[in-house]
Structure 1
Amino acid sequence: MKLSRDLAEFEHRIGHRFARPDLLVRAMTHSSISSDTRPDNQRLEFLGDRVLGLVIAQVLMEGDRAAVEGQLAPRYNALVRKETCADVARAVDIGSVLKLGKSEQVTGGRRKMALLGDAMEALIAAVYLDAGLEAAREMILRLWGDRIRTVEADARDPKTTLQEWAQARGMQPPVYEVTGRTGPDHAPMFVITARLEDGRTAGGEATSKRAAEQAAARALLTEVGDG
């Protein structure tokens, strides 16, 4: 199989050339356009999540041999969560090579956090199946980059941090409001706006209200200069 030009350029962005190009095509195929002859990336996503978890867990343990489980767990969660996977996906512009059905294209699927995060996990699995664990590890470390080094700050619970920031300045706790919802009932996407007493706001989106609130709090912390 010969890759299209956009996928060939994408190989260069991620630093891995596929011996089995069909794996990359499958990793970039969303269920909205799949068929009997064109499998989607859901099974790869399932595997990639586990490969990412193994690599990140090992890297964290090797990077801080004195850390206890209670210190490692929040760092791990910060690095493997869907929002982080989506951020990495945006950095290599996965959205431009995702194969989506018309319905997802119309509703902005190339920008959706869940779709981008899933595609990144599927990509990790594709590299793993194509060239083994070491190749997947190398790509993860390359694409995650400074996120691993700076994870201690990112591992803080953003809602708690934002509330502490507000209270330290004599403000009421932040208010979180659902300002949007898209997608079917079985796979909703929530948009949450976090608002401070002084009027500053920021938004976040995720597949659960809790995760969207966390994303909104994180964005507002960045807005006020404490993120």
Structure 2
Amino acid sequence: VDVWINNAGYSGSYQPLMQATPEQVAQVVSTNLLGVALCSRAAARLFTAQPGGGHLFNMDGAGADGLPTPNYAAYGATKAGIRQLSGSLRAELKGTEAKVHLLSPGMILTELLLEGSPREARAIPFNILCEHPETVAGFLVPRLRSVVARGLGGTYVKYLTPASAMWRLLTAPARIGRFFDSAGNRVYLDEAERIHGRGARATQRSVAAARAQNTGLQFAYSLSLALAVAVMVLEANVMA
């Protein structure tokens, strides 16, 4: 196993913490923090035991920066905990070939995000800040592969940075109605239609644009693979 990604998450219902049941809070904490901690432990044990180590990627979310997440208090607390957990594990694994990273996908239009969110609260923030999963994957996956190919450690790959969020806010008028109408009703195609149906071309353009946000990554990845192959060929010649 070369790469391990802890991506599972649960937001819980959109409500103040004091109105959530103990079971609801426990489910969020168990899924997001306890689950990641146990899986990170397993990955660390595996990577330190096998030749060549490996790369662990933990997924952050709203709250990872320490800012409040009202009505999602437990969720935000777990994401802040994941960031701290990743830093602690990185320090514990210093000097080994096990690398720990963070991925920040931003706001992704999934059922997890929509679950429990008030319909009337979706139109403005979701149209401005959200993206479909395939678009975010188009950005994150090449960068993740580049990190692994180059053997980097302790990276933090972010899709929605403060700068990009500010740009989205400045261009908000152009984003009106992208995903939701003024009443908060969905106006976008489902996943099957976006990827395989009538929205496929638009999806391909969106993914290509996300991937091309830093064309240097593709060059770095290709170069690292070429160097790796060259090293293997040289080693084979020496052994022969």
TM-score above 0.5: no
TM-score normalised by length of structure 2: 0.30
Bigger radius of gyration among the two: 2
TM-score normalised by length of structure 1: 0.31
